[in-house]
Amino acid sequence: MSFILLGVVTGLGGGTVRDLVLNKPSIFWLADPLYLYVCVGAAALTYFLAPVLASKYKTLVWMDAAGMALFSVTATHTTLQWHDAWLVAMAMAMITASFGGIMRDVLLDQMPVILEPEIYVSASLLGALVYLIAHAFPLPTPWAIGLGTIAAFSLRGAAIIWDLRLPKYRD
């Protein structure tokens, strides 16, 4: 059953941290348990399909890129409803998109992906920034969300395709 814990922590961890930091009156998945059901279902499905998915590693990387892009932008949108500072919204985008994976990696005693020179958080921040600009323009919310998601996904996708990486810090 530990795979369910990992699925729930990965899927809900970042948004939970966001809601706690924003001091929202209710954490999103407590207000709407559908999020929890989806995470449990996805974890169970992943557990049973793991042998097939292991051979499709690139598919999982692309699915993660899509999730990162969408969660970054929707976190930015959610944050603007609670706090109007752009920098706060961008920080919440970054936290929402990455903290679930960090928690999972810590539980698995693995090096968190974001501590590697991957272009991941940068893509999250780009998506948040594009959303904020589009929102201020003002474009309708669905358009702003779409443009931000496309921007984040495109940058992460370019990094996947061409193995682009950030410079690595040297000791």
- Global pTM value: 0.91
Under the banding of pLDDT at 50, 70 and 90, the label for residue 50 is: confident
Domain segments of the chain: what residues? 2-162
Determine the average pLDDT of the residues in 39-61. 85
- At 49 the pLDDT is 85
Determine the average pLDDT of the residues in 29-41. 97
Least confident of 73-77, 125-129, 153-157, 167-171: 167-171
- Are 123 and 156 in contact by the 8 Å Cβ rule? The answer is yes
Per-position DSSP letters for 64-119, written without gaps between them: HHHHHHHHHHHHHHHHHHH---HHHHHHHHHHHHHHHHHHHHHHTT---GGGTTBS
153 C-beta neighbours (distance < 10 Å), count? 22
Determine the average pLDDT of the residues in 105-123. 91
* Mean residue pLDDT across the chain: 93
Determine the average pLDDT of the residues in 105-111. 92
